[in-house]
């Protein structure tokens, strides 16, 4: 069996039997393609690869691509999955990736943006044309609901309930959840649906909420690319995921409990959500650093 055929069958197995999300299946497929290409250069067959070969591959990836601990952990997860498939299909006797240990993840505080900076960036969006109005509505909605880029891309018009102020979102693992969104997001979304979307759609009929110039669903890559251009124009180094981080941090700062934030973000494990408690503390420390010297100056006066 050649490498491409093996890769295609593994990808089908991920979707059909493992019931992995499309995003996870694509991520694993890309990683295993790299692995199979490395095996070919090393003149090794996948079924003959042992744990030492896997360690050599991971070291190669660390040196070549300068992977951080999070990326190494993803590569190990993909290798474990692939060799589980190989074992299930009888293509290898054992899973050599089982003994690989994922690197410990340190606490990495995600970057957040305050509303003032978000507003400054959004003010640069030209809302006098269909594309600009769409981007304003899209970014407002992502920020207001704390969406992942993929979740925003997969939204359909029927998923928005304006009267309740709620959106039905399809998250990781094809799990649905209901998320409230704010009045500002609703305002721009209604303008987009009334003025911009019909002009972009033309004669194309699509259920997608956010569409491009051709009338078809706007892709994750397209959303990401448009936002990065806007952030660069505003001189604000951030990504779309920064808006999600900011959403979670503001919820906690406003008094929301951790379990509620977990549900809103669609995290399977609450430990993923707990990182935002550290962000909140870091913001308090920054405020203390900035304002305490001034406070001490006033307190020292007779």
CB 67 within 8 A of CB 75: yes
Q: Can you spell out the DSSP letters for 220-283?
A: HHHHHHHHHHHHHHHT----HHHHHHHHHHHHHHTT--HHHHHHHHT-SSHHHHTHHHHHHHHH
Structure-block tokens of residue 95: 């899973």
Give catalytic status of residue 172 as yes or no.
yes
Set 33, 120, 267, 278: catalytic member: 267
Give catalytic status of residue 296 as yes or no.
no
Set 148, 197, 217, 245: catalytic member: 148
Give catalytic status of residue 267 as yes or no.
yes
Return the residue matching tokens 């790299």.
34
CB 95 within 8 A of CB 87: yes
Give catalytic status of residue 247 as yes or no.
no
Alpha helices in the chain (DSSP H): 3-16, 22-41, 51-65, 69-88, 115-122, 130-145, 149-154, 183-191, 197-201, 220-234, 240-253, 258-265, 270-273, 275-299
Measured from the Cβ of residue 205, the count of other Cβ atoms closer than 10 Å reads 7
Which DSSP letter does residue 181 get? -
Set 172, 199, 220, 278: catalytic member: 172
CA–CA dist 167, 159 (Å, integer)? 6
Give catalytic status of residue 108 as yes or no.
no
CA–CA dist 225, 234 (Å, integer)? 15
CA–CA dist 8, 36 (Å, integer)? 12
Give catalytic status of residue 192 as yes or no.
no
Set 217, 244, 245, 247: catalytic member: 244
Catalytic residues: 148, 172, 241, 244, 267, 276
């Amino acid at each position: 069996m050649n490498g491409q055929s093996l890769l295609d069958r593994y990808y089908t197995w991920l979707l059909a039997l493992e019931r992995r999300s499309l995003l996870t299946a694509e991520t694993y497929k890309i990683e295993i393609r790299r692995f199979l290409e490395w095996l070919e250069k090393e003149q090794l067959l996948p079924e003959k690869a042992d744990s030492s070969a896997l360690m050599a591959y991971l070291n190669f990836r660390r040196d070549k691509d300068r992977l951080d601990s999070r990326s190494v952990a993803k590569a190990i997860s993909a290798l474990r999955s692939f060799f589980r498939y190989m074992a299930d299909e009888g293509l290898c006797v054992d899973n050599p990736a089982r003994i690989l240990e994922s690197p410990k993840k340190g606490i990495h505080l995600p970057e957040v943006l305050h509303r003032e900076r978000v507003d400054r960036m959004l003010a640069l969006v030209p809302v006098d044309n269909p594309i600009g109005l769409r981007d304003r509505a899209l970014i407002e909605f992502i920020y207001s609901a704390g969406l992942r880029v993929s979740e925003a891309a997969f939204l359909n018009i029927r998923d928005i309930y304006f009267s309740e102020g709620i959106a039905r979102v399809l998250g990781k693992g094809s799990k649905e959840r209901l998320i409230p969104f704010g009045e500002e997001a609703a305002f721009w979304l209604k303008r987009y649906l009334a003025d911009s979307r019909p002009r972009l759609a033309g004669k194309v009929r699509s259920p997608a909420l956010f569409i491009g110039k051709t009338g078809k669903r706007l892709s994750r890559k397209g959303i990401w690319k448009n936002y990065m251009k806007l952030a660069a124009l505003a001189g604000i180094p951030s990504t779309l995921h920064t808006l999600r981080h900011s959403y979670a941090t503001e919820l906690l700062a406003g008094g929301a409990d951790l379990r509620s934030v977990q549900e809103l973000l669609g995290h399977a494990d609450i430990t993923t959500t707990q990182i935002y408690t550290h962000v909140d503390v870091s913001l308090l420390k920054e405020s203390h650093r900035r304002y305490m010297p001034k406070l001490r100056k006033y307190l020292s006066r007779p």
